[in-house]
Amino acid sequence: MLKLALTFKWLGALLMCLLLAGIFAALAQWQVTRSVLPNSDNAGWDIVQTEPIENIAQPGQSNTFNEISKAGKKKVLTEVTTNLTVNAQAAVLVANRIQLDGTEGYWLVMPATTQSGRLYVAVGFIAEQSPAKVVLAEARKLILPMALLTVQGRYIPNEAPQQQLDVDTLSTLSIAQLLNLPGLSQGVESNTYSGALALTHKNQFSSIPNLETITIGLAKSESELNWLSAFYAIEWTVFALFALFIWWRLLSDAYLKQQSKIG
C-alpha cells in the first residue's frame, strides 16, 4: 500500500487534499479568533468610536449593549452621544463609585430628557462625603437653559437596588430607585432608558468646585463565547480532517482493488 501511495498519482492527490485541509484549518482558526472575546480589563482599548445613543439602546428595553468589541486584534470602546436637557434641581448622589486610579467616592446623578425618553446622567465624581454634599447643593441651585446640551460618555448598565444611605444618597446606580425618589417619579419605566450615561469628558458641570471628570476602566468579566463562531470553527476542522480521510479511503479502495486483480 505504501508503494501505491508513493506513486505520482496518489502523491498529487495527497497534495491537493493537504491544500484543502490547510484552507479549512485556516478558516477554523479564523472562526476561533472570533468566537472568544477575552476578559476585559483596565489596560484600556485601541480604538474609541462614538454612536448616537438611539443606535444602541431604546427607552423601556432591556440593555443588550456591549461597549467593548473586537476589530481584528484591536479592542474597540464604543461611547455614546446624545442631546438632552437636564433637571439639575433633582440631582442626587450615588455612593460606592471608584475612579480608574482607585479613588472611592460619589457620582452626581441627574435626570435628563432626550428626544426618545428619560435618561439618568452621571455628570461628575466627588471623592469625599462632605464635598459631595456641597457639590450637590451647588448643582441644585443651577438654573440651566432649556436648550439641548450635547454630551458624550459611557452607557453603563443598571445596578441592583440596595438600601438608600440617606435622602440624597443611593448605594447603587439603580434606575428603579431613581424613578421612585420624590421629585423624580414624573416619568415611567417604559419611557426610561434601562442604563445610565456616565459623562467621561468635561461637560457643562465641570466648573463646579470639587467635581471631577468620571474615569472608568473596564470591569473584569468572564470571557464571552460566540457559540455560532465556535460551531463554525468545529465544522471547518471536521472538513479538514474529512479531506485527509477521503484521500486515505480512496487509496485503500484502490489498493484493495489492485490486490483482488493480483489474486
Cα diameter, the chain: 104
Residue-level pLDDT at 220: 47
Q: Per-residue pLDDT tens for 141-165?
A: 886 665 678 999 999 999 998 999 9
Cell for 63?
A: 440593555
CA–CA separation, 261 and 55 (whole Å): 71
Residue-level pLDDT at 127: 94
What is the 3 state secondary structure string of 219-250? CCCCCEECHHHHHHHHHHHHHHHHHHHHHHHH
Confidence of residue 197 (pLDDT cuts 50, 70, 90): very high
Q: Which residues have a Cβ under 8 Å from the Cβ of 53 and sit 6 or more positions away? A: 80, 81, 82, 114, 116, 119, 155, 193, 197
Mean pLDDT of 200-205: 89
Q: Percent helix, strand, coil in the chain (nearest 5)? A: 35, 30, 35
More confident residue, 190 or 205: 205
DSSP assignment string, 54-80: GGT--TTS-----SEEEETTEEEEEEE
Provide the sign of the torsion angle of the four alpha carbons 215, 220, 226, 227, taken in this order: negative
Residue-level pLDDT at 40: 46
How far, in Å, are 130, 212, 228 from residue 135 at the CA level? 9, 11, 49
Residue-level pLDDT at 245: 86
Listed by start position, the domains of the chain span 2-37+225-262, 47-222
More confident residue, 34 or 205: 205
Residue-level pLDDT at 149: 86
Residue-level pLDDT at 10: 75
| Count of other CB atoms within 10 angstroms of residue 136 | 20
Mean pLDDT of 215-239: 73
Among 117-121, 185-189, 190-194, whose mean pLDDT is lowest?
Answer: 185-189
Q: Per-residue pLDDT tens for 62-107?
A: 888 888 787 877 888 889 999 999 988 899 999 999 998 889 999 9
Among 37-46, 78-87, 179-188, 209-218, whose mean pLDDT is lowest?
Answer: 37-46
Q: Is 105 helix (H, G, I), strand (E, B) or coil?
A: strand
More confident residue, 44 or 85: 85
Cβ atoms of 197 and 134 closer than 8 Å: no
Q: Per-residue pLDDT tens for 14-36?
A: 888 888 888 888 888 887 776 66
pLDDT at 250 over 50: yes
CA–CA separation, 200 and 78 (whole Å): 12
Q: Is 192 helix (H, G, I), strand (E, B) or coil?
A: strand
